[in-house]
Amino acid sequence: MSILRLAVPGPLRQLFDYLPPPDTSEEVLSALTPGQRVQVPFGRRELTAYLVEVAAHSHLPAGELRQAAAILDSRPLLPATLVQLCEWAARYYHHPAGEVFNAAFPQALRAGKPHRPSGEAGWRLTRRGRGLPRGALARSPRQAEALAMLQAAASLPASLVKERGIGSAVLRSLEKKQLVERCQVPPPPRTGTSRGGPQPNREQAAVIAALLAAPPGFGCHLLEGVTGSGKTEVYLRVIEHCLQAGRQALVLIPEIGLTPQTLARFTRRFDADIAVLHSGLGDAERLRAWERARDGSAQIVIGTRSAAFTPLHKPGLIIVDEEHDASYKQQDGFRYSARDVAVKRGQLEACPVLLGSATPSLESIHNALVGRYQLHRLQQRAGGAALPTMATLDVRRQELVAGLSRALLDAIEHALRANQQVLLFLNRRGYAPTLQCHDCGWVAQCTSCDARMTVHRRQRRLRCHHCGASRQLPESCPQCHSRHLLTAGLGTEQAEEVLRERFSQWPVHRVDSDSMQGRQAMSELVDEVNRGEPAILLGTQMLTKGHHFPAVGLVAVIDADAMLFSADFRGEERMAQLLTQVAGRAGRAGTPGRVILQTHYPDHPAIQAMLVADYAEQARGMLARRQATGMPPFGYLLVLRSDCRDPREGEDFLQALRERAAPELPGGISLIGPLPSPLQRRAGMFRFQLLALASERATLQAGAAVLVASVAGMRARRDLKWTIDIDPQDLF
């Protein structure tokens, strides 16, 4: 008996056994392979599930097994390695396997739609047809002609056959005789050759040589290269070799906004079919790109986070650019790290993985220092540009206009007059983070979160940046009806207003998620800025991610103190990464750039470190401090979170869980909590967290399994939601 063991999308962390559909032929049964989609009745619904295993026995009695409704694919759509990757991820992240498999499929296939191979509709010979000798079917000249054509090619597009004068009646008669069949004809392959590019400098050449000399198979490499050191150039060179070997390269990038630039650079370099996968695609586009990756017609696949699960026909190389970027971690639902999944994938696919960053995560640096990853460094900028010089600007007792000191305003003017571009970093969008009544002290709070609402003056709205709630900007105080409302604090919208007034001869571009709406906005702005005319760029994190703005001569961080007092254990790491990345936008072409940090704490160690040490050196200091706390990468961490409308319930739930799991937890795990999350109420839910820390990964994994199993046996209020987050990025 064949039992189908299936991953069924849904909240349950288990596989489900089904019998094959009633009329399944022996042939289909014997060909069953993990990765095939199966339609199944589940409760009162029908779902698309994924075959994980064909088993001989089920622990359920045969009478209780339901029958699957249909086997949707005659062959698995995922290669065996990707099935293994999904199973691994389900186990490692303690997430329902069906949901993990969903991440590997585009929407249409998740919904059970038939799979259609890419390419053009066409014709090819059947096995029987291939058995015919040349010159066969001589009695029917049209059929003989068609046969001869198909004997000369593996397959032909229907349009071409028609063009050559073969009507569809002829093909249909051949089809009836089972001599020809319909098929999809793949597009003619591209050569995959590279169009040159700059001569690698000495450092780059050494890294490229080391990468190419690595033994075949899996190996993980960390490329730690200062901003503008030519990391992308290194990627392009190793991809070139990968394509020459007839293999595909998968390139992960952190931001959808970077895809146009990355794609343009890759298209210029390679005569290759490049598939792009990101969340901004329509379902049909995404399906087509996925299919080209799967069937191997795309030689290069560029994508954001979820592309880590794209099937590849012949993977040869996986690159994760800006590997430190927090956006590689999915923060809801299936909480995986695309970087870590990519490394595991390289292991399963037996291909090298290259992680690159100017500011690698402490995890990856640690892995390199202990020899798990091979470390490669680029310490100079490519093409002779100098690294920018950094200085603090002490703003204590200085007059500030929209957060800008006189000295900074002068420096901006000076740079603009010297025909340079200026980049100003302010990591807060909106006009101001607080609206307050001058008469009674009322403050605009979000009704669903423990947070203030941000003033968005242009849209005349108050918005909560935590839950998305918004309401009209009040004209008067709802408490005392005074019309004397004040804003406090600074956002990009306000800074933009002041800058436009003060520097009216020059364009001011604001770059944040409010101003950059729509798919084209960012690439249009990048094109505009890359024309090189003097201008001010003012923006949030969005500005700092990988973009090249060669004409920027001055970078200023308007509020370098904003991140100084973070409670998160990654706070100092994040700050050093962000400031280094911001600074890295300066001075990329010719003129050495300047970076100014406005601060009230010029003597703070984290600010001082920015001035005297590069990121690599700072990172090694931070690692030593991290080691003292036992936090990752020196320990392994998970967070179990509860969300509930009732403020007590979530805490009680986690406390009960802690007590229930405690006797079964392996030694070497410490539990912390339950504690209220730093932002305790969000979107009307009260949030608590229970942390578990262990010095060994295996111990943490065993502990996670105990915790998840314990929850399964607990009764909780219907409106209580719990989640488990392995290797959490932020504790919030």
Residue 463 binds Zn ion, judged by CB under 5 A: no
Query: Which C-beta is closer to Zn ion: that of 178 or that of 476?
Result: 476
Residue 100 has a CB neighbour count (10 Å cut-off) of 25
Nearer to ligand ADP, 156 or 552 (CB): 552
Cα-based distances in Å from 493 to 15, 432, 511, 712: 51, 8, 10, 48
Do the Cβ atoms of 223 and 354 come closer than 8 Å?
Answer: yes
- Which listed option, Zn ion, ligand ADP, none, makes contact with residue 200 (CB within 5 to 8 Å by class)? ligand ADP
244 binding Zn ion? (CB under 5 A): no
Nearer to ligand ADP, 223 or 395 (CB): 223
Q: Is the dihedral of CA 222, 227, 233, 239 positive or negative?
A: positive
- Which pair of structure tokens corresponds to residue 569? 């254990």
Considering only CA atoms, which of 656, 637, 657, 655 is closest in space to residue 699? 637
Name which of Zn ion, ligand ADP, none residue 221 binds, using a CB cut-off of 5 to 8 Å depending on partner kind. none
- Smaller CB separation from Zn ion, 372 or 481: 481
In whole angstroms, the minimum distance from the beta carbon of 384 to ligand ADP comes to 8
Runs of H (alpha helix) within 97-230: 97-103, 107-110, 127-130, 141-151, 158-163, 168-176, 202-213
User: Taking the CB of residue 188, how many other CB atoms lie within 10 A of it?
Assistant: 7
Neighbours of 540 (CB within 10 A): 20
User: Is residue 389 a contact residue for Zn ion (CB under 5 A)?
Assistant: no
What is the nearest approach in angstroms of Zn ion to the Cβ of residue 673?
Answer: 24
Choose among Zn ion, ligand ADP, none what residue 231 binds, the Cβ cut-off being 5 to 8 Å by kind: ligand ADP
Distance CA 500, CA 515 (A): 15
**Distance separating alpha carbons of residues 582 and 557, to the nearest angstrom:** 8
The answer to the question of residue 486 lying near Zn ion (CB under 5 A) is no
Tokens of 662: 């405690």
Least distance in Å: CB of 479 to Zn ion?
A: 5
β-pairing verdict for 156-157 and 219-225 = unpaired
Residue 395 interface partner, choices Zn ion, ligand ADP, none, CB cut-off 5-8 Å depending on type: none
Q: How far is the CB of 485 from Zn ion (least distance, A)?
A: 8
Decide if residue 707 touches Zn ion (CB under 5 A).
no
For Zn ion, which is the closer residue by CB, 3 or 453?
453
With CB under 5 A as the contact rule, which of the stretches 128-136, 238-246, 471-479, 516-524 interacts with Zn ion? 471-479
Closest CA to 239 of 215, 261, 271, 264: 271
CB of 368 to ligand ADP, least distance (A): 17
Task: Mark residues 408-437: x for contact with Zn ion by CB under 5 A, - for none.
Answer: -----------------------------x
391 near Zn ion, judged by CB under 5 A: no
Q: What are the Cα distances from residue 523, in Å, to 1, 148, 260, 588? A: 57, 50, 6, 19
| Distance in angstroms (rounded) separating the CA atoms of residues 355 and 363 | 12
- Residue 652: name its binding partner from Zn ion, ligand ADP, none (Cβ under 5 to 8 Å by kind): none
Give dist(CA 515, CA 521) in Å, integer: 8
Selection from ligand ADP, Zn ion, none that 472 binds (CB < 5 to 8 A by kind) is none
> Shortest gap between Cβ of 18 and Zn ion (angstroms)?
43
Give the one entry of ligand ADP, Zn ion, none that residue 393 binds, where binding means its C-beta sits below a cut-off of 5 to 8 angstroms depending on kind: none
Distance CA 638, CA 693 (A): 7
State in angstroms the smallest separation of the CB of 357 from Zn ion: 33
* Residue with Cβ nearer Zn ion (76 or 430): 430
What Rg value do the Cα atoms of the chain yield, rounded? 29
Q: How far apart are CA 535 and CA 585, in angstroms?
A: 14
Instruction: Output the smallest distance, CB 265 to ligand ADP, in A.
Output: 8
In angstroms, the first-to-last Cα distance of the chain is 49
- CA distances (Å), 270 to each of 158, 228, 454, in order? 30, 21, 46
Q: Which does 178 bind (CB under 5 to 8 A by kind): ligand ADP, Zn ion, none?
A: none
**Smaller CB distance to ligand ADP: residue 96 or 200?**
200
Position 477 contacts Zn ion (CB under 5 A): yes
Smallest gap from residue 539 Cβ to Zn ion (A): 24
By CB under 5 A, name the one of 239, 251, 467, 508 that touches Zn ion: 467
Q: Which residues, in sequence order, are CB contacts of 600 under 8 Å at separation 6+?
A: 394, 395, 396, 561
Task: State the binding partner of 480 from Zn ion, ligand ADP, none, CB within 5 to 8 A by kind.
Answer: Zn ion
Q: Please state whether beta strands 536-539 and 508-511 pair in parallel, antiparallel, or not at all (unpaired).
A: parallel
Among residues 31, 350, 440, 714, the one that binds Zn ion under rule CB under 5 A: 440
Question: Judged by CB, which is closer to Zn ion: 271, or 719?
Answer: 719
Q: Residue 230's binding partner, choosing from Zn ion, ligand ADP, none, with beta-carbon cut-off 5 to 8 A by kind?
A: ligand ADP
**Residue 449 lies near Zn ion (rule: CB under 5 A):** yes
Q: Least distance in Å: CB of 435 to Zn ion? A: 11
The answer to whether the CB of 401 falls within 8 A of the CB of 443 is no
CB of 206 to ligand ADP, least distance (A): 12
Least distance from ligand ADP to the Cβ atom of residue 436, Å = 42
Name which of Zn ion, ligand ADP, none residue 227 binds, using a CB cut-off of 5 to 8 Å depending on partner kind: ligand ADP
Nearest distance from C-beta of residue 204 to ligand ADP, angstroms: 5
For residue 598, give Cα distances in angstroms to 309, 390, 416, 538, 561.
42, 11, 19, 15, 8
**Smaller CB distance to ligand ADP: residue 200 or 489?**
200
322 or 573: whose CB is closer to ligand ADP? 322
Query: What whole-number distance in Å separates Cα of residue 600 and Cα of residue 317?
Result: 46
| Residue 442's binding partner out of ligand ADP, Zn ion, none, with CB under 5 to 8 Å set by partner kind | Zn ion
Tell me: does residue 456 bind Zn ion (CB under 5 A): no
466 binds Zn ion (CB under 5 A): yes
Query: Residue 225 or 534: which CB sits closer to ligand ADP?
Result: 225
Q: Whole-number minimum distance, CB 331 to Zn ion, in Å?
A: 16
Interaction of residue 706 with Zn ion, rule CB under 5 A: no
Continuous segment of H or E residues that includes residue 642: strand 636-644
Q: What is the DSSP string of 230-293?
A: -HHHHHHHHHHHHHHTT-EEEEE-S-GGGHHHHHHHHHHHEES-EEEE-TTS-HHHHHHHHHHH
Question: What is the smallest separation between the CB atom of 628 and ligand ADP, expressed in angstroms?
Answer: 32
Kindly state whether residue 479 participates in binding Zn ion, applying the rule CB under 5 A: yes
Applying CB under 6 A, which residues contact ligand ADP?
198-201, 204, 225, 227-233, 382-383
442 touches Zn ion by CB under 5 A: yes
Q: Which of Zn ion, ligand ADP, none lies near 275, with the C-beta cut-off 5 to 8 A by kind? A: none
Q: How far is CA 335 from the centre of its chain?
A: 11
**Side-chain half-sphere CA neighbours of 193 within 13 A:** 3
For Zn ion, which is the closer residue by CB, 206 or 469? 469
Q: Least Å distance between CB 202 and ligand ADP?
A: 9
Cα gap 104→101, rounded to integer Å: 5
Sheet containing 461-463, strands listed edge to edge, beginning at the edge strand earlier in sequence: 454-456, 461-463, 470-472
Among residues 494 and 581, whose Cβ is nearest to ligand ADP? Answer: 581
Q: How many amino acids of this chain bind Zn ion (CB under 5 A)?
A: 15
In what order do the strands lie in the sheet containing 156-157?
156-157, 120-125, 180-185
**The pairing of beta strand 400-401 with beta strand 404-405:** antiparallel
Positions that interact with Zn ion (CB under 5 A): 437, 439-440, 442, 446, 448-449, 464, 466-467, 469, 477, 479-480, 482
